[in-house]
């Protein structure tokens, strides 16, 4: 695996890179979830590029950006072992050159809801950096985890509106979970042992919502209550939001709506770490 720091080196490497090119953008602190993305790219692409860039434009709290784990050497080992050919880890100046006006990329209507409402500007930051990374890596396929379901949909929306070549296909890769059910995330490393135990209630709350729906509950308010009950047993968890939304528009479903299909999203803070998990409820998730 070749390590690359600059746009110029990347452009040179791309000239010799056989297509299709698979691209896995990350912010580092790689774990088995990222390994699954890289392996998915390896399975269907002749060249696999992984990027590691902690994008300041998508953080809404400076403390969160400062606390974001940076583990480049371990990341390089994992990326290499998972099948990456090129590891691109640029500096800020390579992504946002100081002499260039950075045009913020519109993340579209889906970015206004859920995480977008909780963290204004977050998805504009994601859309902007992903577009820049796509311009630099020129991939045919790009791989994103279903764990961040809203990010995935925003990236799909942005990518569908790209006018520059090549045409990029967005590939969805299922969430990887730990043995206690907690979705893998680079942020989990910052949890205390007590916080970690409490955080394991998040996937159990998703399961509780699925169960109650399977056993006759039907309205948003009933499903939400089942999930909230699980979370309320852990005082370490501070709930930010628990939303059932239309899976296509991401618009919140009203309390008395019948849940046929819904994206259930839970955002909590624990030990000052923000955790997000989500699942698709209803007919399509059962098929």
Whole-number Å distance between alpha carbons of 255 and 185: 30
44, 22 Cβ separation under 8 angstroms: yes
Strand 86-88 vs strand 261-270: parallel, antiparallel, or unpaired? unpaired
Mark residues 15-44: x for contact with ligand PAF by CB under 6 A, - for none.
----------xxx-----------------
Nearer to ligand PAF, 56 or 181 (CB): 56
Nearer to ligand PAF, 150 or 209 (CB): 150
What is the CB neighbour count within 10 angstroms for residue 53? 19
- Is 176 a residue that touches ligand PAF (CB under 6 A)? no
Stretch in the footprint of ligand PAF (CB under 6 A) among 125-133, 163-171, 245-253, 274-282: 125-133
- The two three-digit tokens of residue 26, written as one number: 């990350």
Nearer to ligand PAF, 65 or 225 (CB): 65
122 is catalytic: no
Among all chains, which residue has been given the structure tokens 């403390």? 63
| Angstrom distances, CA of residue 59 to CA of 178, 257, 269 | 25, 34, 15
At its nearest, how many Å lie between ligand PAF and the CB of residue 7?
Answer: 17
242, 262 Cβ separation under 8 angstroms: no
Mark residues 141-160: x for contact with ligand PAF by CB under 6 A, - for none.
-------x--x---------
145, 152 Cβ separation under 8 angstroms: yes
Q: Which of 14, 37, 50, 130 binds ligand PAF (CB under 6 A)?
A: 130
Nearer to ligand PAF, 49 or 130 (CB): 130
- Is 129 a residue that touches ligand PAF (CB under 6 A)? yes
Q: Do you know the residue count of the chain?
A: 287
Among all chains, which residue has been given the structure tokens 């600059």? 6
- Interface contacts to ligand PAF, rule CB under 6 A: 25-27, 55, 58, 126, 129-130, 148, 151
């Amino acid at each position: 695996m070749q390590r690359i720091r600059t746009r110029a080196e990347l452009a040179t490497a791309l000239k010799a890179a056989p297509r299709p090119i698979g691209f896995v953008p990350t912010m580092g602190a790689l774990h088995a979830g990222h390994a699954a993305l890289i392996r998915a790219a390896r399975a269907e692409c002749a060249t696999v590029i992984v990027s590691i860039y902690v994008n300041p434009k998508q953080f809404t709290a400076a403390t969160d950006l400062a606390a974001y784990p940076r583990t480049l050497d371990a990341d390089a080992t994992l990326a290499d072992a998972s099948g990456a050919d090129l590891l691109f880890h640029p500096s800020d100046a390579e992504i946002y050159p100081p002499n260039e006006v950075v045009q913020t990329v519109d993340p579209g209507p889906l970015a206004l809801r859920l995480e977008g409402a909780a963290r204004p500007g977050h998805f504009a930051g994601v859309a902007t950096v992903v577009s820049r990374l796509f311009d630099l890596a020129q991939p045919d396929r790009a791989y994103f985890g279903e764990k961040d379901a809203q990010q995935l949909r925003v990236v799909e929306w942005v990518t569908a509106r790209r006018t520059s070549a090549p045409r990029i296909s967005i590939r969805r890769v299922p969430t990887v979970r730990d043995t206690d059910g907690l979705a893998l995330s680079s942020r989990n490393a910052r949890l205390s042992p007590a916080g970690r135990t409490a955080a394991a209630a998040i996937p159990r709350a998703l399961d509780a919502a699925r169960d109650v729906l399977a056993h006759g509950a039907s309205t948003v308010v009933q499903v939400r209550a089942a999930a909230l009950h699980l979370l309320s047993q852990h005082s370490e968890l501070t709930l930010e939001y628990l939303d059932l939304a239309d899976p296509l528009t991401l618009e919140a479903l009203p309390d008395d709506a019948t849940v046929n299909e819904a994206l259930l999203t839970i955002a909590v803070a624990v030990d000052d770490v923000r955790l997000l998990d989500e699942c698709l409820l209803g007919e399509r998730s059962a098929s």
